[in-house]
Amino acid sequence: MKYRTLGASGPTVSSLGLGCMGMSIAYGEPDEAESLRTLDLAVDLGVTLLDTADAYGRGANEELLGRWLHKRRNHRASLVVSTKFGLRHDAATGRVGEVDTSAPYVRSACHASLRRIGTDHIDLYYVHRRNPAVPIEETVGAMAALVEEGSVRYLGLSEVNPETLRRAHAVHPISAVQLEYSLFTRDVVEGEMLNTCRELGIGVVAYSPLGRAMLTGTVVSREDLNEQDNRRRWPRFAEGNIHHNLTLVHAVQRIATQIGCTPAQAALAWLLAQGDDIVPIPGTKKRRYLAENTSAADITLSTEQIDSLCHAVPANSVSGKRYPDQALTRLGH
C-alpha cells in the first residue's frame, strides 16, 4: 500500500481508504461477520483510512466499527477513523428529516459518535451536509473547540461549494473535503472546486469512486439489485438510464482488459492518477472486492491509458442525476 497526506498539515493515510457505509445500510442485507473479516483484511493490506458516519444506519455503522476496534485496539494508533455529523433522522419515518449544523449539535453529535465507536478521539470529523441557515463559521468554530479539547484531530467538510470551503478554512484549517468523484461523476470536483482545494492545501476524499459499483462491471441490469438495495430508487440505475450507462462501463472494461486489470481497478487507478491529493474510499463489505480494490494502488497508468479512460466516459456523459431529488437539495451549500 502507498500513502498520501490529506491537506497541507493533515493526516497521512493509505492512498485508498475503505468506505464502511454498505456494511450496515443501502446495498442489500448486512453481513456483520463478513464485514468484520473485511475490516481485518483491510488492516492486513495496509488500509488506514476507515470512513463512517452517524447517519449510516442511525449509528449502527459506527457501532459496528466500534465492535471491531475493540477487538483490534492494538491497531487503533495506526488508523485514521473518520466520521460525519449533520443529518438527523425523523423518529416517525426513519428517514433524514433535518440537517443540523448548529454549534450545540456539533458537540452532542461528536460525543455520541465517540461513545458508539468506543474511542477517545475522532481522527477526521466531517460536516456531512450543511444547513445553509447556519453560518459555516458557527459550525466550524464549534468543531475547532472539539480539536482544542482533544476529541477531534482534523476537520473536514462534505459536499460544499468553494465559497463555503474558503470561509470554513479561514476559521480553522480544513484537512479534507469529501466529494463524489469518479469517471462517472467529474463535474463536482474538476474545475473551481479542485482548484480551490489545491490553492488552500486541502485534500479530496473521493466517495463512490466506482459509481456505486456500476463501474465494477458486476451490475449488468436492475435485476442484479435486490429489493432492499437503495440503488433501485437512484436515477442512474433507473430504466432508461442504466442501459446507456452500462455502455460506458463496457468501454471501460475494454480498456481495462488492455491494461491487464479489472474495470474497478482501472477506474480507481484513474482517480489516483488525478493527483497525490486525492484519496478514493471505495466501499465494500466483502473481502474479495476489498482485495481487488486495494490492488489498484499498485497500478501506474500511462498518459495514453488515462486519456483513453477519459474518452471512454466523457464528462457529463452519464444519464441520470447522481442522487434522488430530495437528497440533491442538501448538496453544494
> Is 31 within a domain?
yes
Q: How many domains does the chain have?
A: 1
User: Is position 291 within any domain?
Assistant: yes
Query: Could you tell me the CATH number of the domain that includes residue 152?
Result: 3.20.20.100
Q: Are 56 and 27 in contact (CB under 8 A)?
A: no
Q: What is the mean pLDDT of residues 17-23?
A: 96
Q: Does residue 224 lie in a domain region?
A: no
pLDDT tens across 44-73, in order?
999 999 999 999 999 999 999 999 999 998
In a domain, 146, yes or no: yes
- Name the active-site residue from 27, 56, 126, 154: 56
Amino acid at 192: E
Residue 87 per-residue DSSP state: E
* Per-residue exposure over 194-206, b if at least 16 CB sit within 10 Å of its own CB, e if not: bebbeebbbbbbb
Domain that holds residue 50: 3-211+273-299
pTM for the model: 0.95
pLDDT above 90 coverage of the chain, percent: 85
Is the residue at 285 inside a domain? yes
Q: Domain for residue 177, yes or no?
A: yes
Confidence band for 114, pLDDT divided at 50, 70 and 90: very high
How many angstroms separate the CA atoms of 171 and 147, rounded?
A: 13
247 lies in some domain: no
- Look over the chain and give the mean of its residue pLDDT values, rounded to a whole number: 95
**86-104, pLDDT tens digit by residue?**
998 776 666 677 899 999 9
Q: Which pLDDT belongs to residue 38? A: 97
Kindly tell me if the per-residue pLDDT of 261 is higher than 80.
Answer: yes
Answer yes or no: is 188 within a domain: yes
Active site residue 126: no
Question: What pLDDT does residue 94 have?
Answer: 63
Mean pLDDT along residues 191-200 = 97
- So what's the pLDDT on residue 329? 85
Classify strands 80-85 and 122-127 as parallel, antiparallel or unpaired. Answer: parallel
pLDDT above 90: residue 326? no
pLDDT score of 28 more than 80: no
Contacting residues for 280 by C-beta, under 8 A, at least 6 apart: 16, 17, 181, 205, 206, 209, 268, 271, 272
